[in-house]
C-alpha cells in the first residue's frame, strides 16, 4: 500500500505540472494562431492580384522522387496515445509514399520519434528537439533550411506529421504539406479552416486592392513567412496536445492508484480480521480444554 500511495502522489504531481504547462502552451498557441491565419489569408489575396507571378515555392524544381517528412513527437513518455497516434500517421504516410515509387527522408523533432524510426530501421537523417517552448527564431532557421533545400531541388515536397490541437477533448494526428505551398490538405478527413473562412471562399468574393510595392515583391516576403508561421503553429499545437494528453493520462493513473490502494487496504483488513478471529478461537478453545 505504501508503494501504491507513493505512485499516486507522483502521478498527481505530474498531473499538476502538465496542467501548468498546458495552460502556458495553450496561451502561446492561441496567440500565434490569428497571425498564422492572417498570413495565409494575405497570401491568398495577394496571389489573386499577382497575375502571372511565379515562385520557386509553388512548384518543385525537379521531380527527384524524394520527399522530406518532419515528425514532431515528445521527448518524454507518459502522455497517453500522443506519440502512438503521431507515429502511426507518419508511418502510414511513409508506406503510401514508398508504394508510389518515391523515397522519403525522415527528420525527427523529439526523442520518441527518433527512437521509433531507428527501431523501424529507418534512421532519421536529422534529430533535434526544441523543448516545451520553441522560439520563432529556432523554427525560422529550420524553415529556412527546408525552403533552401526545396528551392534547390533536393526534395519535391516537404511535409510535417504532428498532432493538431482542436480542443481539450479533441486532438488530431495529421500530415500536412509545408512545401510546395498549396491549400492545406491534411491526410485526416477534418479541416482546420474556420467556418468563417470557408464561407468567404464559397462566396467567391475577392477584395480589390492596389499594391505598393508590387504584389510580386510583397509575395517574395509573405511566402517564406507563411512557411515559417505554419511550421511554428505546428510545433505549438504539438506541445499543447502533448501536455493535455499527459494531464489526462496522469489523472487516470492517479485515480487507478487510489482505487488499487483502497482494494489493497480492504484485503489487508479482511486478512487481519481473519487472523484475529483465528487467534481468539484458539485462545477460547485452549481455555475450554483446561476446564
Contact 184, 236 (CB under 8 A): no
C-alpha grid cell for residue 67?
520527399
Which sequence spans correspond to the domains of the chain?
2-9+251-290, 17-201+210-246
CA distance 26 to 31: 8
Which triple of cell numbers denotes residue 277? 478471529
| Tally of CA atoms within 13 A in the half-sphere of 282 that contains its CB | 6
C-beta of residue 82 within 8 angstroms of C-beta of residue 246 = yes
- pTM strictly above 0.85: no
Q: Does domain 17-201+210-246 have CATH number 3.30.70.260?
A: no
* Rounded to 5°, angle at Cα 236 from 198 and 125: 110
- Closest C-alpha among 90, 74, 92 to residue 82: 74
What string of pLDDT tens digits covers the 291 residues of the chain?
788 889 989 999 999 999 999 999 999 999 999 998 898 888 877 776 656 777 888 888 778 889 999 999 999 999 999 999 999 999 999 999 999 999 999 999 999 999 999 999 999 999 999 988 999 999 999 999 999 999 998 999 999 999 999 988 899 999 999 999 863 334 433 444 443 344 344 445 555 666 677 777 888 888 999 999 999 999 999 999 999 999 999 999 999 999 998 988 898 899 999 999 988 888 888 888 877
- Contact at 8 Å (CB) between 54 and 219? no
* Strands laid side by side in the 66-72 sheet: 126-128, 103-109, 66-72, 157-167, 170-179
> In Å, how far are 11, 167, 177, 245, 267 from 253, measured between CA atoms?
7, 22, 36, 12, 21
Give the Cα separation of 87 and 71 in Å (integer).
8
231: which 3 cell numbers?
A: 511550421
Contact 156, 64 (CB under 8 A): yes
Burial class (CB in 10 A: 0-12, 13-18, 19+), 269: exposed
Q: Which residues contact 48 (CB under 8 A, 6 or more apart)?
A: 206
Amino acid at each position: 500500500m505504501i508503494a501504491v500511495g507513493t505512485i499516486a502522489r507522483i502521478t498527481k504531481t505530474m498531473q499538476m505540472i502538465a496542467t501548468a504547462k498546458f495552460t502556458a502552451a495553450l496561451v502561446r498557441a492561441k496567440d500565434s494562431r490569428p497571425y498564422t491565419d492572417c498570413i495565409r489569408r494575405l497570401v491568398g489575396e495577394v496571389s489573386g492580384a499577382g497575375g502571372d507571378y511565379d515562385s520557386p515555392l509553388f512548384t518543385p524544381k525537379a521531380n527527384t522522387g524524394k520527399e522530406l517528412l518532419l515528425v514532431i513527437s515528445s521527448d518524454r513518455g507518459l502522455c497517453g496515445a500522443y506519440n502512438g497516434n503521431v507515429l502511426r500517421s507518419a508511418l502510414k504516410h511513409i508506406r503510401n509514399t514508398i508504394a508510389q515509387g518515391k523515397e522519403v527522408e525522415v527528420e525527427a523533432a523529439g526523442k520518441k520519434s527518433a527512437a521509433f524510426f531507428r527501431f523501424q530501421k529507418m534512421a532519421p537523417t536529422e534529430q533535434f528537439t526544441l523543448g516545451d517552448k520553441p522560439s520563432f527564431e529556432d523554427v525560422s532557421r529550420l524553415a529556412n533550411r527546408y525552403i533552401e533545400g526545396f528551392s534547390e531541388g533536393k526534395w519535391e515536397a516537404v511535409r510535417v506529421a504532428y498532432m493538431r490541437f482542436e480542443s481539450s477533448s479533441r486532438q488530431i494526428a495529421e500530415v500536412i504539406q509545408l512545401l510546395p505551398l498549396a491549400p492545406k490538405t491534411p491526410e485526416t478527413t477534418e479541416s482546420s479552416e474556420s467556418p468563417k473562412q470557408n464561407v468567404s471562399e464559397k462566396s467567391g468574393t475577392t477584395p480589390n486592392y492596389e499594391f505598393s510595392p508590387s504584389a510580386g515583391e510583397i509575395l517574395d516576403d509573405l511566402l517564406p513567412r507563411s512557411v515559417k508561421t505554419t511550421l511554428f503553429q505546428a510545433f505549438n499545437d504539438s506541445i499543447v496536445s502533448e501536455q493535455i494528453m499527459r494531464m489526462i493520462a496522469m489523472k487516470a493513473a492517479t485515480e487507478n492508484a487510489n482505487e488499487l490502494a483502497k482494494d489493497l487496504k480492504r484485503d489487508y483488513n479482511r486478512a487481519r480480521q481473519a487472523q484475529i478471529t483465528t487467534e481468539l478461537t484458539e485462545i477460547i478453545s485452549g481455555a475450554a480444554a483446561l476446564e
